[in-house]
């Protein structure tokens, strides 16, 4: 469920960066943030929404706007087209994005440098792409307005500590960074404006594989591995024909299963849930070949410092490090609808899942869960309920085929 937007955004990133490089005036300029001259440290709050890190920022003195902080993004992307009218942009060019079809669906604006305001920080020459159509529907997924994605420019000149436990970022200049006690340094590389780390993956069949993974704060899952099924076969237990998201050229299919373990430095995480995409075009158009990505599902089990300038990531085990990994047990993918994002509409039902067995369908609306209106619940609360316990029964009021039905959804652990 948390993977639904991942491949959609990843494919766009690769295509967009390729197009961007044709604009020499942008590619040649350094785009970065720095601390206000009188500060040595800045603390920035964020909100973790369905495993997406959301910060507030202003653009050209308008806002605040909600942006997802995403190390997998090589350029700031404004996903809400309405911002083009909200912020004053004196110069912008229209760019065709290959793979999106005809008309405005395939176009974005490239802006001149913007004044991106985050309290305590100053932006320098940070430009953006503004999509002419909202391709990703991130607001519905997050259940709150989402206006864009911010990545490489935020991290390339700063050392950034991410503490999920208290929902704060601490930012230093690299020379002033304070590494936490017992923090373990892990070498990383910065390639094509993205961070990579080596990790050892042990499959359930016993093979140990060295992998090169993108460190990807914008991916809600723990880990995604490409080409593993083709080389080593499927895990012993898996969800077949899983929908891992929607790509620019259609659905991304694959499998979801478990790894025996994943090792980064001295840390070993056991029984990790992993996605195994089978899209044969995953590596096409990419300048850096990789084996997959490491998502927030793993990273939130640590305190993390990313220091691009020193090619280092520091990790410190958090209190939730040993919590078991659980996947959704309902088989339902859903999004928040309505002006206040207080309606829950089913987008897809996994074949053979608990939701499928009781006849739930796309476009059904969930109204209550165990007598509690979903309008009084967050999407995270609903997510947690649907992956809470095998064989747990939940009573749902569902608006289906122009009538209200009461159904009992019995959760089913599938991996």
Two tokens at 108? 């974005």
User: What are the tens digits of pLDDT across the range 115-157?
Assistant: 999 999 999 999 998 888 887 789 999 999 999 999 999 999 9
Tell me if 50 is assigned to some domain: yes
CA dihedral 53, 192, 222, 385 (to 10 degrees): 30
pLDDT exceeds cutoff 80 at 98: no
User: Is residue 403 exposed (0-12), middle (13-18) or buried (19+ Cβ within 10 Å)?
Assistant: exposed
Number of domains in the chain: 3
Q: What is the mean pLDDT of residues 204-216?
A: 94
pTM: 0.90
What would the two tokens of residue 56 be?
């507030």
In this structure, what are the phi and psi dihedrals at residue 21, rounded to the nearest 5 degrees?
-65, -15
Boundary (domain end) residue, out of 155, 171, 187: 171
Of 171, 186, 217, the one marking the end of a domain is 171
Considering the domain architecture, whether residues 118 and 160 belong to the same structural domain is answered as yes
Same domain, 101 and 216: no
Q: Does the pLDDT at position 112 exceed 80? A: yes
Evaluate whether residue 415 is within a structural domain: no
Contacts of 53 by beta carbon, 8 Å cutoff, 6+ apart = 46, 47, 68, 69, 70, 162, 217, 296
Regarding predicted confidence, which is higher, 193 or 16? 193
- The answer to whether residues 346 and 366 belong to one domain is yes
Q: In the chain, what is the greatest distance between 2 CA atoms, to the nearest angstrom?
A: 63
Q: Which of 113, 136, 171 is the last residue of a domain?
A: 171
Lowest pLDDT segment from 2-6, 185-189, 319-323, 360-364:
2-6
Q: Is the backbone of residue 110 left (phi > 0), alpha (psi -120 to 50) or beta? A: beta
The residue among 1 and 36 whose pLDDT is bigger is 36
Task: Give the structural domain span for 273.
Answer: 177-317
Task: Find all residues with CB under 8 Å of 325, minimum gap 6, and list them.
Answer: 222, 258, 271, 272, 273, 297
Express each pLDDT in 344-402 by its tens digit.
999 999 999 999 999 999 999 999 999 999 999 999 999 999 999 999 999 999 999 88
Same-domain pairing of 339 and 393: yes
Contact 255, 238 (CB under 8 A): yes
pLDDT band per the 50, 70, 90 thresholds, residue 103:
low
Per-range mean pLDDT, top range of 15-24, 198-207, 224-233, 282-291: 198-207
Examine residue 98 and state whether it is found in any structural domain, yes or no. yes
Of residues 86 and 249, more confidence is placed in 86
Are residues 116 and 181 located together in one domain of the fold? Answer: no
3-state secondary structure the chain: CCCCCHHHHHHHHHHHHHHHCCCHHHHCCCCEEEECCCCCCEEEECEEECCEEEEEEEECCEEEEEEEECCCCCCEEECCCCHHHHCCCCCEEEEECCCCCCHHHHEEEEECCECEECCCEEEECECEEEECCCCCCHHHHHCCCCCEEECHHHHCCCEEEEECCCCEEEEECHHHCCCCCCCEEEECEEECCEEEEEEEEECCCCCEEEEEEEECCCCCCCEEECCHHHHHCCCCCEEEEEEEEEECCEEEEEEEEECCEEEECCEEEECCEEEEECCCCCCCCCCCCCCEEECHHHHCCEEEEEEHHHCEEEEEECCCCCCCCCCCCCCEEEEEECCCCCEEEEEEECCCCHHHHCCCCCCCEEEEECCEEHHHCCHHHHHHHHCCCCCCEEEEEEEECCEEEEEEEECCCCC
Contact (CB, 8 A) for 136 and 73: no
Instruction: Determine the Cα–Cα distance for residues 403 and 21; give it in Å rounded to an integer.
Output: 53
**Residue 90 located in a structural domain:** yes
**112 and 32 in one domain?**
yes
Q: For the chain, what percent of residues have pLDDT higher than 70?
A: 85
CATH code, domain carrying 137: 2.40.70.10
Assign 4 a pLDDT band (cuts: 50, 70, 90): very low
Bigger pLDDT: 236 vs 53: 53
The pLDDT value given to residue 3: 44
Residue 137 domain-assigned (yes or no): yes
Q: Based on the fold, state whether residues 167 and 184 are members of the same structural domain.
A: no
398 and 283 within one domain? no
Residue 370 lies in a domain: yes
Which of 58-62, 89-93, 281-285 is predicted least confidently?
Answer: 281-285
Do 151 and 93 meet the contact criterion of CB atoms below 8 Å apart? no
Which is more confidently placed, 211 or 3? 211
What is the average pLDDT value for the chain, to the nearest integer? 87
Query: What mean pLDDT is predicted for residues 76-81?
Result: 91
| 341 domain residue, yes or no | yes
Please count the other Cβ atoms lying within 10 Å of the Cβ belonging to residue 318: 17
Q: Do 248 and 303 reside in the same domain of the chain?
A: yes
Question: Is the domain of 154 the same as that of 202?
Answer: no
Q: How confident is the model at residue 73 (pLDDT cuts 50, 70, 90)?
A: confident
Same domain, 139 and 237: no
Q: Is the pLDDT of residue 249 over 60?
A: no
């Amino acid at each position: 469920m948390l993977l639904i937007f991942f491949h959609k955004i990843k494919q766009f990133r690769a295509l967009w960066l390729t197009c961007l490089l044709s604009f020499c005036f942008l590619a040649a300029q350094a785009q970065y943030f720095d601390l206000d001259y009188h500060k040595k440290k800045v603390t920035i709050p964020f909100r973790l929404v369905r495993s997406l890190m959301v910060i507030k920022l202003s653009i050209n003195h308008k806002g605040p706007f909600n942006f997802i902080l995403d190390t997998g993004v090589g350029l700031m992307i404004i996903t809400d087209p309405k911002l083009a009218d909200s912020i004053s942009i004196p110069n912008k060019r229209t760019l065709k994005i290959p793979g999106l079809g005809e008309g405005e669906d395939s176009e974005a604006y490239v802006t001149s440098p913007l004044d991106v305001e985050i309290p305590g920080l100053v932006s320098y020459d940070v430009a953006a792409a503004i999509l002419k159509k909202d391709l990703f529907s991130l607001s519905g997924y997050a259940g709150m307005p989402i206006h864009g994605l911010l990545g490489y420019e935020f991290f390339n000149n700063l050392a950034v500590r991410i503490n999920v436990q208290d929902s704060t970022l601490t930012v230093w200049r690299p020379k002033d960074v304070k590494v936490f006690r017992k923090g373990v340094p892990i070498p990383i590389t910065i390639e094509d404006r993205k961070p990579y780390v080596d990790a050892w993956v042990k499959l359930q069949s016993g093979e140990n594989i060295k992998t090169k993974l993108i460190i990807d704060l914008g991916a809600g899952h723990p880990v995604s591995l490409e080409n593993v099924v083709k080389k080593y076969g499927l895990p012993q237990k898996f969800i077949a024909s899983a929908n891992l998201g929607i790509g620019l050229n259609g659905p991304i299919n694959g499998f979801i299963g478990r790894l025996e373990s994943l090792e980064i430095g001295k840390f070993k995480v056991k029984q990790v849930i992993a996605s195994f995409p089978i899209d044969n075009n995953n590596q096409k158009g990419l300048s850096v070949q990789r084996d997959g990505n490491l998502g927030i599902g793993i990273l939130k089990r640590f305190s993390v410092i990313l220091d691009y300038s020193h090619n280092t990531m520091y990790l410190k085990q958090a209190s939730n490090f040993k919590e078991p990994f659980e996947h959704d047990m309902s088989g339902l993918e859903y999004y928040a609808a309505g002006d206040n994002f207080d309606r829950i509409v089913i987008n897809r039902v996994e074949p053979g899942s608990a939701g499928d067995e009781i006849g739930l369908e796309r476009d059904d609306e969930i109204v209550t869960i165990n007598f509690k209106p979903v309008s009084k619940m967050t999407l995270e609360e609903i997510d947690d309920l649907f992956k809470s316990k095998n064989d747990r029964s939940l009573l749902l009021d569902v608006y289906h085929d122009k009538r209200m039905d009461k159904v009992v959804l019995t959760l089913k652990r599938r991996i």
